[in-house]
Amino acid sequence: MKRIIVFVTDCVDVAYNELRGVIASQLQKINSSLEVEIEPVAQVRPFSIVNGNFVLRLLADVYPENTIFSVVLNPLKERPARLIGTTKKKKFYFMGANTGVFEWFFRDFEIDELYELYDPGFVPFGGKYVHAPVIAQIASGQQLNLIGKKFDTSNLTKLDIADGTIVHVDNFGIMKFTGVLPALNEGDKVTVEVKGRSLSVVYAKRMMGRDTGEWVVYPGSSLGLPELGKVRQNGAKEIDIEVGDGVKLVV
């Protein structure tokens, strides 16, 4: 069976090649005949647990079961436990720090097995020297209970993402945010309050059908989340929007 490894991380410079290289080298040592595919990096905003939640959950929606999700993202001051495990739905494997980044993923796919990796102690770039070798072991079929101890779900770090929170901003400056749009008709005008500004926005089902430079809110393509953007312009950059900022619609 072909194994797929997906890195969800903010390590997107040469560090990502180091992660891939370690896994490739380790797999050669363990079993050179294993068929493993390491996907292109799933980039997360630097230090953003909120964005990591979204990216992980988004990809879990489309990748097949037995995919291994490797989350290398830890902006916390204190060293959290490194978690490994599997889910009940679609049978995913996962590894990452107990930062709250798995909140959305766990809620929708449910935990089957959950372990804390036996702690080897602190090393600089643990993603390379600790995390990646373990991912290689998981890909090779190693039993999780041999590389970690049971972890109580009550000790999982929680993350509450309120409605209206911007969870992702794409390269076009389109903002995906949590919540549900009110009942609106094509062309309805609403006010959107964001980043201390009030924007005059039109509702449309197809954003690109509106005029260039027009602010539009519309039903998005990702997990049913609404989206806000400026037609054929980078609206997020224009008003300095960041993941974690809040959006409020005034109808």
pLDDT tens digits along 167-187: 999 999 999 999 999 999 999
Residues of the chain with CATH 2.40.30.90: 166-250
Please give the Cα distance from 101 to 157 (Å, whole number): 8
Please give the Cα distance from 56 to 73 (Å, whole number): 11
| pLDDT on residue 239 | 94
- Residues 40/7, Cβ–Cβ less than 8 Å: no
Average of per-residue pLDDT across 54-75 = 97
Whether 32 has a pLDDT exceeding 80, the answer reads no
Instruction: Assess if CATH 3.40.718.10 describes domain 3-155.
Output: no
Side chain identity at residue 163, one-letter code:
D
CATH topology of domain 166-250: Elongation Factor Tu (Ef-tu); domain 3 (2.40.30)
Q: Using alpha carbons only, give the angle 95, 100, 102 rounded to the nearest 5 degrees.
A: 45
Whether 237 has a pLDDT exceeding 80, the answer reads yes
Whether 106 has a pLDDT exceeding 80, the answer reads yes
Which of the four pLDDT bands, split at 50, 70 and 90, describes residue 2? Answer: confident
Average of per-residue pLDDT across 44-63 = 98
Global confidence as pTM: 0.95
Give just the sign of the alpha carbon dihedral 223, 228, 229, 235: negative
Average of per-residue pLDDT across 9-35 = 93
Q: Name the nearest CA neighbour of 52 among 167, 172, 179.
A: 167
Whether 137 has a pLDDT exceeding 90, the answer reads yes
Q: Name the nearest CA neighbour of 243 among 136, 129, 159.
A: 159
Quote the mean pLDDT of the chain. Answer: 96
How many percent of the chain have pLDDT more than 90? 92
Whether 120 has a pLDDT exceeding 90, the answer reads no
Average of per-residue pLDDT across 80-86 = 97
Alpha carbon distances (Å) from 84 to 77, 163, 183: 21, 29, 42
| pLDDT on residue 33 | 82
| pLDDT on residue 166 | 98
As beta bridge partners, residue 86 has: 93, 113
* Total Cβ atoms within 10 A of residue 86: 19
Whether 21 has a pLDDT exceeding 80, the answer reads yes
Please give the Cα distance from 13 to 99 (Å, whole number): 22
